[in-house]
């Protein structure tokens, strides 16, 4: 039974804070869905020179920007700290140094204002991005209906999660090696494309033939787990073979074929699990959910209603943390001021 239908969830304004990796973000959300403001300070240009996120640099950048980002979020929402009911912050998983910056900022705010503190799992945040809609949209769109099957795809996670009710999760499967987003980054480096790999692969793939190379699909029959390491290795071997034969490397075709293999596995496994567990709807979240081919594939089928967040909520943001935090706050979660970060915290 959905507790929201029984009026359990009260009206509340929640400030969300997200610093799990290389985005410093703050957002204000009303009643778990209506987005009043969302501010994200990206460090993408800073880390591009390293070809990936440099943890120490990331934490220093968070320190420089965290309070100005929070201030902007409050200003955009046209509220002050006294108008808030709670502060939700990412507790993990993520980079330890980055998580600590957000956690300490949240603790300072709740200590100074006497507000409740709510620690949120970053993965859970990606799930709850499906509940968020912008205030300017007016009336809220229909919210996701339980039971749901969530496919979470990002640089660090590729998981299938069965959600029977708010905050009730059963992980069906996960990646055994490279996450989908990680595979995108590694293949982009193999092809000489810039970081981050996801957008670079998508751009190159738009000019290529997805059937040019028949790359392997790791089906892992009998489980809901994923594996993309073999696919990445197949791309590497293909590139080296072409180079050894002094042939031009068809980057666009390689990118398109690789992308098609990833999307095919994600789609087929998700649809099969949705059928087996008889869910009502499907939810896609995480950075890779911004991929155009993935979105078009899922939205093109007619068996299930699919929730995919707008592009602004696919990558790391604080709106999703505020959304998950709202439901935890509404159901009674209050965390102490000695709450510590959990860099390897699994969703449970």
pLDDT in tens, 314-326: 999 999 999 999 9
CA distance linking residue 40 with residue 53, whole number of Å: 16
The model's pTM is 0.93
Mean pLDDT, residues 160-186 = 96
How many other CB atoms are found less than 10 A from the CB of residue 327? Answer: 22
The token pair that represents 313 in the structure block? 């909520």
Whether residue 232 is contained in a domain is answered as: yes
Q: For residue 71, what pLDDT band results from cuts at 50, 70 and 90?
A: very high
Q: What is the pLDDT of residue 109?
A: 97
Q: For residue 50, what pLDDT band results from cuts at 50, 70 and 90?
A: low
How many other CB atoms are found less than 10 A from the CB of residue 29? Answer: 31
Instruction: State the virtual CA torsion across 230, 233, 235, 241 in degrees, nearest 10.
Output: -130
On whether both 232 and 319 belong to a single domain, the answer is no
Residues with Cβ within 8 Å of residue 42, at least 6 apart in sequence: 22, 23
Judge residue 132's burial from the number of C-beta atoms within 10 Å of its C-beta, 0-12 exposed, 13-18 middle, 19 or more buried: buried
Whether residue 337 is contained in a domain is answered as: no
CA distance linking residue 157 with residue 179, whole number of Å: 5
Q: How many domains does the chain have?
A: 2
On whether both 188 and 294 belong to a single domain, the answer is yes
Judge residue 99's burial from the number of C-beta atoms within 10 Å of its C-beta, 0-12 exposed, 13-18 middle, 19 or more buried: buried
Q: For the chain, what percent of residues have pLDDT higher than 90?
A: 88
**Bridge partner residues of 17 (DSSP):** 26, 89
On whether both 27 and 164 belong to a single domain, the answer is no
Give the relative orientation of helices 251-277 and 180-190 as an angle to the nearest 10 degrees.
170
The token pair that represents 60 in the structure block? 């220093």
Report the candidate in 205, 186, 303 with the shortest Cα–Cα distance to residue 250: 205
Residues with Cβ within 8 Å of residue 15, at least 6 apart in sequence: 26, 27, 28, 70, 73, 74, 81, 84, 86, 87, 88, 109, 322
Phi-psi domain of 289 (left: phi exceeds 0; alpha: psi -120 through 50; beta: other): alpha
Whether residue 274 is contained in a domain is answered as: yes
Whether residue 346 is contained in a domain is answered as: no
DSSP letter for 16, please: E
On whether both 170 and 296 belong to a single domain, the answer is yes
Tell me, what CATH number does 287's domain have? 3.30.420.40
Whether residue 8 is contained in a domain is answered as: yes
On whether both 152 and 184 belong to a single domain, the answer is yes
**Bridge partner residues of 13 (DSSP):** 30
On whether both 92 and 161 belong to a single domain, the answer is no
**What's the gap between Cα 164 and its chain centre?**
20
On whether both 51 and 180 belong to a single domain, the answer is no
pLDDT tens per residue across span 190-210: 999 998 899 999 999 999 999
On whether both 44 and 88 belong to a single domain, the answer is yes
On whether both 152 and 289 belong to a single domain, the answer is yes
On whether both 105 and 156 belong to a single domain, the answer is no
**Bridge partner residues of 134 (DSSP):** 35
Q: Would you say how long the chain is, in residues?
A: 348
pLDDT tens per residue across span 127-146: 999 999 999 988 889 999 99
Structural domain boundaries enclosing 88? 3-132+312-330
Whether residue 241 is contained in a domain is answered as: yes
For 340, what's the count of Cα atoms within 13 Å in the CB-facing half-sphere? 5
Whether residue 15 is contained in a domain is answered as: yes
Q: Which residue has the tokens 């706050």?
A: 329
- C-beta of residue 331 within 8 angstroms of C-beta of residue 166: yes
- C-beta of residue 127 within 8 angstroms of C-beta of residue 42: no
Whether residue 339 is contained in a domain is answered as: no
DSSP states of 283-333 as a string? Answer: EEESGGGG-HHHHHHHHT-SSSEEE---GGGTSS-SHHHHHHHHHHHHTT-
Q: What is the pLDDT of residue 231?
A: 97
Q: What is the pLDDT of residue 180?
A: 95
On whether both 14 and 45 belong to a single domain, the answer is yes
- Helix, strand, coil percent content, the chain, rounded in steps of 5: 45, 20, 35
On whether both 177 and 107 belong to a single domain, the answer is no
CA distance linking residue 258 with residue 189, whole number of Å: 13
Q: Which residue has the tokens 């293949």?
A: 187
Phi-psi domain of 160 (left: phi exceeds 0; alpha: psi -120 through 50; beta: other): beta
pLDDT tens per residue across span 257-300: 999 999 999 999 999 999 999 999 999 999 999 999 999 999 99
């Amino acid at each position: 039974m959905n507790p929201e239908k029984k009026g359990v969830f009260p009206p509340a304004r929640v400030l969300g804070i997200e610093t799990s990796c290389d985005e410093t973000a703050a957002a204000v959300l009303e009643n778990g869905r209506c987005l009043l403001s969302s501010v994200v300070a990206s460090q993408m240009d800073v880390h591009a020179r390293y070809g990936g996120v440099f943890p120490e640099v990331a934490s220093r950048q968070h320190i420089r920007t965290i309070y100005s980002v929070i201030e902007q979020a409050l200003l955009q929402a046209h509220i002050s700290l006294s108008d808030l009911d709670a502060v939700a912050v990412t507790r993990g998983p993520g980079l330890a140094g980055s998580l600590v910056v957000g956690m300490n900022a949240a603790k300072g705010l709740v200590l100074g204002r006497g507000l409740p503190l709510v620690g949120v799992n970053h993965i859970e945040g990606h799930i709850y991005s499906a509940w968020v809609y912008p205030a300017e949209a007016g009336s809220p769109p229909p919210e996701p209906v339980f039971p749901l099957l969530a496919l979470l795809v990002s640089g660090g996670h590729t998981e299938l999660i069965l959600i029977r009710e708010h905050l009730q999760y059963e992980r069906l499967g996960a990646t055994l090696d490279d996450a989908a987003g990680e595979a995108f980054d590694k293949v982009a480096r193999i092809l000489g494309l810039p970081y981050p790999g996801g957008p670079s692969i998508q751009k190159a793939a738009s000019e290529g033939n997805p059937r040019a190379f028949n790359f392997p699909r790791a089906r892992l029959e009998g489980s809901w787990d994923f594996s993309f390491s073999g696919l990445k290795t197949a791309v590497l071997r293909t590139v080296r073979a072409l180079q050894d034969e002094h042939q031009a490397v068809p980057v666009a075709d390689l990118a398109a074929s690789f992308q098609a293999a990833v999307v095919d596995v994600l789609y087929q496994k998700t649809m099969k699990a949705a059928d087996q567990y008889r869910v009502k709807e499907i939810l896609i979240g995480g950075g890779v959910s911004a991929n155009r081919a993935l979105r078009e594939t899922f939205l093109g089928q007619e068996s299930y209603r699919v929730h995919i967040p707008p592009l602004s909520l696919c990558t790391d943001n604080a709106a999703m943390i505020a959304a998950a935090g709202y439901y935890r706050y509404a159901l009674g979660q209050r965390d102490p001021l000695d709450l510590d970060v959990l860099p390897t915290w699994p969703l449970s």
